[in-house]
Structure 1
Amino acid sequence: MVYGLTPLGVIHTLISLIAVAAGLVALFRDKRIVAGNTTGRIYIWATVLTCLTGFGIFQHGGFGKPHVLGIVTLVVLGVAWLAGRRRLFGGASPYVETVSYSLTFFFHMIPGVTETTTRLPLGKPLLPNADAPELQAVAGALFLVFLIGATWQCLQLRSRSRPGLTAATPAA
């Protein structure tokens, strides 16, 4: 075992790191995760594989919160896809797609922070377990960052959809 991870856990972690890296590139470069470009596709497929490989990891005694998060992530990815490809939500589809993909990135952060802080540094992890109160505070802060980012993304989408306005032009 590497860092207390099973072979499947190592594969799962590597795939999730690819997803997070692609998500960061997309968010910084494109200001959102775009399913139609290479970075967005890498993010989406790596996220799907992260969820699927996560279903085989039962180090905490069986089906639990991480598995539920994987299911929710797959559902949200499906909603984003439907919004982007099928325009299921009409005029709100670009907003639903963008916020949904960003929400899945937030979902990556929860187990990422949890696993990192409860495993590292080796032999003396920062936190004793996944139920440490500090993790709730971190999750709350990450959720606040998600809300701020999603709001900003929606404002950017709205400004692009108004005729005569660009993202750099303030609305009157």
Structure 2
Amino acid sequence: MGLSNLGIFHTAIGVVAIVAAIIALVRRGKIDLQQFTGKIYFYCTLVSSLTALGLSSIKGINPGHILALLIVVLISAAYYLYAKKQGNNQVRFIENFLLSFSFFLSLIPAINETFTRVPIGHPLAKGSTDPLIGKTLLLVLVLFIAGSVYQFRKQKEINKSI
């Protein structure tokens, strides 16, 4: 597998973030920064994205670095809306989308790295262009779109009831 200490730390924190997001999405239908799972997702995603900047098999800036920075921007914007726009339920639509989109983007390298490394010695995929990775990412995209529609509808109901 050949991970550096930073790579091991990055992976462990990233797995915690993904698990927290899945728990939040299953329990509440969204990543809610008021909840413990939402806070865990936010902080672990922040750390995981920042540590990704120190990881690269290619010299210089690569697409993974850009993705990590985009995720930092998305979760930071969502946190700003959460912290500074309390009581404004219209911005919850944007906050929900930003957190869900950051989760979706986090799954791209997670799926790629997992499928090209596991099981050790006989990985599921031969490389990032393997059809299995493409099909899995397509499924995740469909789930993201369906989840976003669900979140929008749920937030609309919440806003009407207030």
Percent pairwise identity: 27
1:91 deviates by 5.3
Q: 8 Å contact 2:89–2:159 — kept in the other structure?
A: no
Where 1:162 maps in the other structure, the secondary structure is helix
Q: Which residue of 2 aligns with 1:26?
A: 24
Q: Which residue of 2 aligns with 1:6?
A: 4
2:96 alignment partner, one of 78, 92, 98? 98
1:155 deviates by 0.2
Tell me the distance in 2 between the aligned counterparts of 1:131 and 1:52: 25
Tell me the distance in 1 between the aligned counterparts of 2:35 and 2:118: 34
Query: Could you say which structure has the higher helix fraction?
Result: 2
What residue identity is the alignment partner of 1:46? C
1:111 deviates by 0.9
* TM-score (norm: length of structure 1): 0.86
Please tell me whether Structure 1 or Structure 2 has the larger radius of gyration of its CA atoms: 1
Aligned length: 161
What residue identity is the alignment partner of 2:120? L
What residue identity is the alignment partner of 2:153? L
Q: Which residue of 2 aligns with 1:38?
A: 36
Following TM superposition, where does structure 1 have runs of at least 4 consecutive aligned residues deviating by more than 4 angstroms?
Answer: none
Tell me the distance in 2 between the aligned counterparts of 1:62 and 1:4: 20
1:76 alignment partner, one of 74, 77, 91? 74
C-alpha offsets along residues 110-132 of structure 1, whole Å, 9 cap, x if unaligned? 11110011011111211111233
Tell me the distance in 2 between the aligned counterparts of 1:129 and 1:4: 16
Tell me the distance in 2 between the aligned counterparts of 1:151 and 1:10: 35
Q: Which runs of 5+ in 1 are unaligned?
A: 165-172
Tell me the distance in 1 between the aligned counterparts of 2:10 and 2:30: 24
